[in-house]
Amino acid sequence: MENNNENINLGNCFHHIVSKYPDQKAVVYLNEELTYQDLNQRANNVARFFEESGVESGDRIGILFNNSLEYVISIIALTKIGASYIPLSYKENEQYLESLTHSAGIKFVFSDSDLNIPGIKILKTSLELQPSRVNYEGNPINESDIAYIMFTSGTTGIPKGVKVTHGNIINLTTGNACLELSNKNIILQTGAPTFDASTFEIWGALLNGGKLIIPDFYKVTNFNYLNELIRKYQVNMMWLTAPLFSIAAEKNIELFTDLKELIVGGDIVHPKDVNKVLVSNPDIIIYNGYGPTECTTFSTIYKIDAVTHEDYIPIGKPIKNATVYILDENLAIVEPDGVGELYIGGKGVSAGYIGNENVTEEKFITNPYGVGKLYKTGDLAAIDNAGNVIFKGRKDRQIKIRGFRIEMNAVENILNGINGIQSSAVTVIENGNGEKGLACCVVTQNKFDLSEEEIRIQFKKVAPSHIVLAQVCVVESLPMNSNGKLDYKKIQSLLDEQASNVDLSKEHEFDEQENRIIKIIEKSMNCIVKDTSISFFEIGLDSLTSIYISDEINKEFKIDIEPMDLLMSPSIDDLIHIVLDKEKIEIANVILLSSQEKNLKLLNQQEAIFIDFTINPNTTRYNIPLLLKLPEMIDFDLLKQSLNRLVDRHDSLRAQFVFREGQAFQTIQENYSSKVKESFAQVNLDQLISPFDLQNDFPYKFEIIRNDEGSWLFMDFHHIVVDGFSLKNIVQDLNSIYLNEELSVLPLNYSTLIEESRSEFYKNKDSAEKFWQAHFQNYKGMNQLPFDSLDVDGISNRNSLIDFSLGTNRTALLKEWSLNNKMTIFEALAIGYSQFLHLITGSEDVTFATPSREYSKVSSIPAVSMLTNTLWILSKSSTVTNEYLKEFVSQLRESQRNQNVPVEFIYKLKRKTGDTNLHETLIAYHDKESIEINFLGDDILIKPLIPHEGMFSLNMQIYDRDDSLEIEWEYLDDLFEYETMKSLAELFKETLDSMISEKYKYSISR
């Protein structure tokens, strides 16, 4: 970077970028975007406010904001006037914040909150400041002046404040010292302000004309959320801690699909995780970034752009203007292949620790091989044949857990400062899954009787939030070796003995909410939890299991906790409090939003679908995809216009869904832009059929696909607004709009349809419930289907298909049989299917589902809507007699008239008998009129594509082609093998043959 100022500092470097890129986007936070000119003005306004409030050059100001954009503005303002910023976090306890404020000599804490902590002076302002006419450029400030103070673990228990200078930051983030940075970079910040990676992210973007994307930090470990940000803002660079990277590589590999560069650091990076990401996205470049806070984020870096076959990842070579040495105890350079302590020199070395000259002199030594200081890292290292540094472990008692640097001596000092504790010893333990955690043996003072849980509670009040005690053991005395020093091997043995005696059967009473959480933990970890005071570590939690538990809790409570919330929870009790607190916040947020929009309540048919969506937002089982071949002479612009007009006509396609005040609502968007995607590619259904986001997007997707073989229109709809009846309306209307044919005006809009349907539902609800109670009164339940897999727990919903035809002869005979018996072809098929279920389950009673269009005055209107119920058909005899046929058809028709019943009401009746979702099967009949249509000159069949996920163990779709009944039979392939399905298909045909060979006749009044 060129700069003609005599004093090089962050203020004038930033001013240079503002002058160069005034109108370029600088920062994005939630829904707010600022250009460099806007950001500079906002920073000048805050700088003026600081000066008017008594902040002077050289002062130290704590920054504590929930609004991360205001944090960025504030730190720019402080660097402009020569004051130092100290990032603080709301996650920390009051005692810890007071300790930091005192040790750093903080003059004010600039905050958006009314804190009331003794010893802390709060400086607060409204968001509306008087505009400053002064452009603060930082001219009197030198590169050796302190820009910020970042706290890191200290051996005494008091964190060490690292003084990072303007020059340190400028060296890291400009001149391509670390990575090639430019105004083309779009960097997603994932490092919290109190984590030194944020230095690279914030200043790396803003000192190069790039764009900084600031997330909601409460969601920063939500990979779906990060993925949305990456795609929305076309993020090309991101940093992740090694533990978070490992979880993301396992849980959401798609996170890395669109990234160009990824920096990973903070802990050991594992080759298996790197390889997994590189295989999924060969174009990504991954960097292993290493560096202590004392050397300004990164000191060495290793570029990984191909799959590695080594069992380790080097930490690389020094960045520009940095030097590294591997020295022995006498500060001599070790021989090649030798292991020594890693020392770092160069322009990244900070100015030492604030108010701690003795430790500064110990850790920052005069460079015996060059100018300046060397930082003594305490890390053991070696050099490989390519000249890369390899991390070999620690020389002292410092460890890293979940990316955080922790001094075990510091943890002991914190414990020893707790009232009632005489002495303590801290060590590292590993659970059965290889996860590291902190454990301690504690000796209490004679008059105190502290329990392990009480020690945990007191420790949490005074310790940094990232330091968690996985195990606490109260002992009478600490074991010593022959030299009078603590014997950590014996301490380890005491901890091992205690762990082996953990009583997981200890009784503990739980309320309903606690029980919901505990059931998820027990199911995921295959254990029994009867005491919530124990830590997750004690029952073997690992990073991978934390992913699944957090997912299940989020589904159950409709909140957003992350795997890290579990890993950072000292006990199961702590997690329960986190979950219940977040649930209250979600409810409060929902109530706040509810008054701002016109809400439309959901139909009975929609409620179950939306609840399932909130639990399983990534499912595709409610997708209704269509793929239509387009004629050669298609006008693509006209087709896109026609699709837009289709959305205009059917306002249900503009519905968005929310959950508020414990209830789901839908709103029709009037101000919208219809989206039609175009692609030149092969048709790839795996990519085309993707989950819907009902809360933020519309329940449809359109894509025109062109390739050498022709062109296709892909349309996908969510079942929550589209049923089978609607599909024909959609295709018919699209055809008419494209051909400029006149369409009749719909007699009502979607809102009126919803109101009319709901009115009809509640008018008949009570009588319908009485009917179903009587209908299921003596139902005995259905035996299990003939699964190939005996282990049906935890199966996926992966869907497969077998198709077959009943043939012209069998179809003709079945239709004749149904006619002679005065029933519809569907009723005949339902009887045949019920007999098939009796046969394969050996059950006296069987049930199965079928879709049924509701009986209401709006159900025949050709509007796009979800007016189809799931109707349950019950059969109570495996013997077909005249009486059986009469009773079956009569009950079926009566149940259709009483289908206005809550979905959950039927499920409760079925569950009482032991039926589960794995017992559930469905058949659906589609007559010729509903599936055949002329579209743009070609006769086509409206048959949805088979989704990747199934809703039923068996789902039989029957298409009537007049002379033949064609069947597409979906099945969950975790439960059934293909050969089994072939046998079941033959058995179904044989069942029909047996049924129609009998000459039953009866009369039913219609």
Note whether 729 and 799 are same-domain residues: no
Q: Which of 716, 741, 600, 715 is nearest to 658 (CA)?
A: 600
Intra-chain end-to-end CA distance of the chain, in Å: 87
Sequence-distant (6+) residues with CB within 8 A of 58 are 82, 83, 84, 145
**Long-range contacts formed by 2-8: CB under 8 A, 24+ apart:** 5/137, 5/139, 7/138, 7/139, 7/140, 7/141, 7/142, 7/143, 8/142, 8/143, 8/166, 8/167, 8/170
State the CATH number of the domain containing residue 621.
3.30.559.10
Q: Which of 813, 240, 806 is nearest to 564 (CA)?
A: 240
**pLDDT confidence of residue 1005:** 34
State the CATH number of the domain containing residue 13.
3.40.50.12780
Sequence-distant (6+) residues with CB within 8 A of 886 are 1002, 1004
Cα 604 from Cα 933, distance rounded (Å): 30
3-state secondary structure of 403: coil
Domain annotation covers residue 213: no
**pLDDT confidence of residue 98:** 85
**Listed residues 702, 717, 747: the one ending a domain:** 747
Domain annotation covers residue 311: no
Q: Which of 743, 666, 677, 769 is nearest to 714 (CA)?
A: 677
Cα 105 from Cα 418, distance rounded (Å): 24
State the CATH number of the domain containing residue 442.
3.30.300.30
Give the angle subtended at the CA of 758 by the CAs of 753 and 763, to the nearest 5°.
Answer: 130
Cα 511 from Cα 821, distance rounded (Å): 57
**Listed residues 695, 719, 747: the one ending a domain:** 747
Give the angle subtended at the CA of 123 by the CAs of 121 and 126, to the nearest 5°.
Answer: 155
Note whether 723 and 812 are same-domain residues: no
Environment class of residue 89 by beta-carbon count within 10 Å: exposed (0-12), middle (13-18) or buried (19+)? middle
User: What is the domain extent for residue 906?
Assistant: 753-996
**pLDDT confidence of residue 1002:** 40
Other C-beta atoms closer than 10 Å to the C-beta of 771 total 18
Note whether 48 and 151 are same-domain residues: yes
Which secondary-structure segment (H or E) carries 278? helix 271-280
**Token pair for 645:** 């007009």
Note whether 833 and 734 are same-domain residues: no
What letter does residue 486 receive in the DSSP assignment? Answer: B
Q: Are 81 and 105 in contact (CB under 8 A)?
A: no
Domain annotation covers residue 407: yes
Which secondary-structure segment (H or E) carries 552? helix 543-557
Cα 652 from Cα 666, distance rounded (Å): 10
Cα 632 from Cα 641, distance rounded (Å): 18
Sequence-distant (6+) residues with CB within 8 A of 846 are 782, 834, 837, 838, 874, 875
Note whether 573 and 616 are same-domain residues: no
**pLDDT confidence of residue 797:** 83
Domain annotation covers residue 226: no
What letter does residue 131 receive in the DSSP assignment? Answer: P
Environment class of residue 612 by beta-carbon count within 10 Å: exposed (0-12), middle (13-18) or buried (19+)? middle
Residue pointed to by tokens 């298609």: 634
Domain annotation covers residue 477: yes
**pLDDT confidence of residue 570:** 66
| SS3 assignment for 734-764 | HHHHHCCCCCCCCCCCHHHHHHHHHHHHHHH
Note whether 798 and 945 are same-domain residues: yes
Q: Which of 424, 347, 407 is nearest to 143 (CA)?
A: 347
Q: Distance between alpha carbon 956 and the CA centroid of its chain, in Å?
A: 34
| SS3 assignment for 899-966 | CCCCHHHHHHHHHCCCCCHHHCEEEEEECHHHHEEEECCEEEECCCCCCCECCCCEEEEEEECCCCEE
Cα 748 from Cα 742, distance rounded (Å): 18
- What sign results for the dihedral spanned by CA atoms 354, 360, 366, 367? negative
Give whole-number Cα distances, 410 to 196, 407, 425, 426, 461, in Å. 20, 5, 11, 9, 15
What number of helices (H) and strands (E) belong to the chain? 28, 40
3-state secondary structure of 216: coil
**Token pair for 946:** 């088979």
Q: Are 18 and 11 in contact (CB under 8 A)?
A: no
State the CATH number of the domain containing residue 826.
3.30.559.30
State the CATH number of the domain containing residue 549.
1.10.1200.10
Note whether 676 and 794 are same-domain residues: no
Beta bridge partners of 424: 442
3-state secondary structure of 435: coil
Give Dmax (Cα) for the chain.
Answer: 107
Sequence-distant (6+) residues with CB within 8 A of 998 are 880
3-state secondary structure of 174: coil
For helices 10-20 and 68-81, the axis angle rounded to 10 degrees is 110
What letter does residue 368 receive in the DSSP assignment? Answer: T
Which secondary-structure segment (H or E) carries 235? none
**pLDDT confidence of residue 256:** 93
Note whether 976 and 848 are same-domain residues: yes
Q: Are 576 and 629 in contact (CB under 8 A)?
A: no
Q: Are 468 and 437 in contact (CB under 8 A)?
A: yes
SS3 percent helix, strand, coil of the chain, rounded to 5, is 35, 25, 40
Domain annotation covers residue 104: yes
Residue pointed to by tokens 């005996």: 790
Other C-beta atoms closer than 10 Å to the C-beta of 848 total 23
Q: Are 69 and 80 in contact (CB under 8 A)?
A: no
Strands 261-265 and 211-214: unpaired
Q: Which of 340, 382, 380, 348 is nearest to 364 (CA)?
A: 348
Give the angle subtended at the CA of 228 by the CAs of 227 and 231, to the nearest 5°.
Answer: 85
3-state secondary structure of 506: coil
Q: Are 22 and 195 in contact (CB under 8 A)?
A: no
**pLDDT confidence of residue 1003:** 37
Cα 89 from Cα 832, distance rounded (Å): 66
Cα 689 from Cα 672, distance rounded (Å): 23
**pLDDT confidence of residue 593:** 31
Cα 933 from Cα 735, distance rounded (Å): 10
Note whether 493 and 445 are same-domain residues: yes
- What sign results for the dihedral spanned by CA atoms 263, 268, 271, 277? negative
Cα 352 from Cα 365, distance rounded (Å): 10
Domain annotation covers residue 132: yes
Note whether 877 and 973 are same-domain residues: yes
Cα 822 from Cα 824, distance rounded (Å): 7
Note whether 611 and 758 are same-domain residues: no
Sequence-distant (6+) residues with CB within 8 A of 905 are 769, 772
Domain annotation covers residue 354: no
Domains in the chain: how many in total?
Answer: 5
**pLDDT confidence of residue 499:** 74
Note whether 685 and 812 are same-domain residues: no
**Token pair for 523:** 């199911």
**Token pair for 328:** 């022995």
Beta bridge partners of 702: 715
**Listed residues 449, 479, 500: the one ending a domain:** 500
Mean pLDDT in each 10-residue stretch from start to end of the chain (1006 residues)?
63 95 95 94 93 92 90 95 92 81 90 78 75 76 94 71 96 94 96 92 97 89 86 94 82 87 90 89 94 95 88 93 94 90 96 92 94 93 92 80 76 88 87 73 85 83 79 86 76 84 58 81 67 68 68 75 73 82 58 43 88 88 94 94 94 87 82 86 92 92 94 95 91 94 83 83 83 87 86 77 95 88 88 95 92 74 88 87 86 84 84 76 90 91 88 93 93 93 96 81 37
